[in-house]
Structure 1
Amino acid sequence: PPPIPPSDIDLDRPIDEKGHTAMHWAAAMGDLAVVKDLIGRGANINAVSNNGETPLMRAVIFTNNYDKSTMDRLAGWLVTTVPMVEWFGSTVFHHIAGTTSSKSKYACARYYLDCILSKMAETYSPTDIEHVLNIKDRNGDTAIHIAARNGARKCVRSLIGRHASVTIPNDLGETADDLIISLNRRRRDGRHRAMSSSPFQMDSTSHNTAMNLDPTLETPSSNNPLLASAPGNTSIPSKPHHTSEAGSALTNQIFPLLLSKSEKLAAAFDAEINERETDVAEAERVVQVRTAEIESLKKQSMALAMSDQEDEYDARLQRQLGNLVSQCESLIEDEQAADLQHLLRQVSSQLSSNNDMDMNDFQDEGMEKLSLLLSIKRLKEERMALVKEVVASQAEAGMGDMQKEYRRLIVGALGVRDEDVDGMLPDIVGELEEWQGMEGGVVGVGA
């Protein structure tokens, strides 16, 4: 087992002149055991070097994690550092794209991209991933700018599959779309030149090969369609000997050259078909991702529509409640006003029966009436406030015990559970209103 470090050791101390920590070097070497041990001992995965590089940025510069197939686990441990940028404004995706300046690292770069993007999809939202992919460095380049400029087509497709923008211009006004179009044009031009070159044009290798051929060497017809025998003839024909110089040149030089060119053309076709198959597989993967996103959006849209319907229903209930509250207040006002009128009539009849009061009694009675009027005004205001409070309490509490009785009757009559009654109330009210309307129509006809 490795030696146990002292308890007071600083695991984040730089160990080289560029400010790299032990975590930087362990990640770059693809040594997952050391990385895991450092994390377990509290080493900082966000530690940066002198130029701001994170351990994950340092790791993607080298191919060790590609050779050991360890980037998937390493990215899972360090995925929270992906949005960080170094002093040049570059993210880890800029560093990966930068390695594609060497064609030998295309496969490694694609592997790193897929591993990190897959781990990000488990932690970050698609919007956050898109934001990180569209970060620009000091030159205004995004990661897809660099990958397209270096001709890393599969890396470009991988970035586009995660919604990396191809329309963001860099400081020179170039967009990734411009670079991709230029890349495709160069690729088409190169293929056209390779396929349109004359098959009779001899290069030095083919010429030397043809000159060194043994004129008596027999060639199977299956490998040389130009020398194939007739159908049914399974014998292997040998090259005929020609007495003329032209015939010898045709047999010894042109035919082998045609065979060599045919094999090169077949190899080019095979490579093209393989690349197209890869493109189709990538397109199918993107379609699956888009289909899943569409289904998710449909579910969200349905949920929002149901939420809007519920909000509209709640608003309608609130309006109905407001109308009922107003009606209740009006009824209570009318009832109390009638009671007050009755009391006033009683008081007036009593006053009219006392006709023997003198002037002093009349003045005293006037002051008493004024005091009573003020008291009545104050009591009326208090009564109005109490009326509103009573109505509000009734609106919140419903009908108290009577409501419980109604619920019990509904449960018994319909044979449903108590918790299902609230959901059935709109249907029950609708049926009652419909029945009431039909009853009113019958009464009207009978009258």
Structure 2
Amino acid sequence: MALEEYERTTSSDGGNASLKLVWDSEKDNFLLDSLLPFLASQAGLEGELTSEKYEEILQKYSVVVESDDDDQKWTSRAKTWELLKILNFADAFQDIFQDEVVTDEDEPSAKRRNEESHIQLGSPLKKLKQSDTLPIRTFSHDLQLPTPLATMHAKSPVGNFQPEERVKLESLLQHILFPDTQTLQFDAVLQDLNNSYPTAPLNLNLPIDEHGNTPLHWLCSIANIRLIKDFIEHQSDRLLGDKSGECPLVKAVKSVNNYDSGTFEELLDYLYPCLILVDEMGRTVLHHIVITSGMPGCAAAAKYYLDILMGWIVKKQSREIDGELDAIISTLDLKWFISHILNARDVNGDTCLNIASRLGNVSIVEALLDYGADPQISNNSGLRPVDFGAGTAKSDMKSTQVPNVNSPSTAGPDSSVLINNIQSLLNTISQDYDMEIKQHNEQLAKLHSDLSAQRELLASSRDKLAKSRQLRDEYSQLTEQVANIRHAINEEDANFKKVSAVLGIDDETFDMAEFDADEPFRIDFIYEFLEKKLQTEYHGDLQQLLESKSLESLAAQLLEENSGKEEIIPPAILLRARICAYERNEENLNKTLNEVHERQADLEGRFRRVLSLCLKVDEDKVDGMLDGLLQAISTEDPEDVDTDEMQDFLKKHAV
């Protein structure tokens, strides 16, 4: 930020006055702080400069400020020069504001006299530009109006359109808002777009954001009058609202851009049909102007919009019409506007004056009262603007102007009755409020309880869902594995049958003792080599073969004698699988053999126990008696057993 300071002294009736201006050369703005004491004195505001007095100064002199990061207030060069002229410091700073001095000197005297007359009148016409002498151009493509003329809701946003239409409109906005050249014409851009998108029609009424705003809404918000005119000339619908039912004119008064650029009057020449529209809340453009006045830094802009709007309605009747005379132009006068718009109520029953009274904007309230707003209209809660002090001064003035000729003194209102009524109203409101709060708290507690229960149920359902998904995945995996195993078994069965057919093995040979289960897996030349060496050199002793010959030497001799047969050997992975299978089979056979030995030993022990009990001898002596017992009972005929000899044997060995 490049700052320059200029201090000048001027003489006045009260003596010399010194003023220091701080200029930001980058933004061409001037610091407002040094002007505020002089403006407060000029406005008759004494004492400490409070925030209320600060806002009143900004409204009175229509000052638009811009705050920096340090919360310092800056205003434009043109506004600073205007304030200097009001404070009689213009001569002292002529060297800094040379362009503004030249502009003032070149301005026609008739125009200055006209503006001075407006200021003296104190009417909304004082802020109208001389464009009110130009004719109002009318368009009828979007004016499907009720008869007789009455307020109506804005049209709903367009919802049925093709993606190509949206792309074409976005391309148009990109070209006209960010042109490559300064001389780009709207019709030329349309021609280029039609060449680029020949099949997609151009619809200027499509919403371009999630709130349902059309391009016309955004152009009114940024105060681009040239493009607004082009869009309306090309059939853009002025009566379309966004998802809240707000029309383009409402978007214009909700921002300060038209105030900064001074384009609101010209904007009304194109958007006057929006004056009869209400949004989903039943609010007119005056409602939104008043609501805007309650936003920080927007009070002066709202007052400007109000004065320009009312002045436009007054001056409209004397202006020429360029085009077909429509129902709005012919019907919309000050009387119609006061009865249908100025005192219109929204869904809460509030008029614009009711809202302004609650916001406490004195200048807006006084202006609305001057224009004919009724302070006695109550909202749905029974509150009237007069309850907030709006219009009371005028009512008191009227009452004092009509004296009571029948009595020498005028009796004032009974204040005790008024206080009792207000107290009763406040008590009723307080009781209703407490009851509503209690009901809402109970509903909130119940909702919290239901929410906790639903959260627990949701957590439990999520756990069950996770377990179900895990089981489903496991089931799918196992199903796939079983299918793969079955497929492998079928392949192996097919291969086994094929090999068995080649070897001449059928189902009958499976039960024959000479069937060799290893035969399908033998590698013939290796088997014959080992079998020949084992029989001829080691007499069938495999252990001797393994001890005398290493595997490497056997493999080398095998390959030397059977050169060229390496391709017959199956792949290594298949051989490893077979070795693993043989090792598992051997392990299972050893395990089965051990189990047989254990069962046989257990059975022998039980028989030994039986014999010891029958012979009445010790268990460890049974083995020595087995030969004699067998000899005693032995006979050629198993059924002809000599029981006498067996009894003599048992008596002889009886204990």
> Do these two structures clear the TM 0.5 threshold for a shared fold by scoring above it?
no
The alignment's TM-score, normalised by the length of structure 2, stands at 0.27
Structure number having the greater strand percentage:
2
State the structure with more CA Rg. Answer: 2
The alignment's TM-score, normalised by the length of structure 1, stands at 0.39
Higher relative contact order (CA 8 A, sep 6+): 2
Structure number having the greater helix percentage:
1
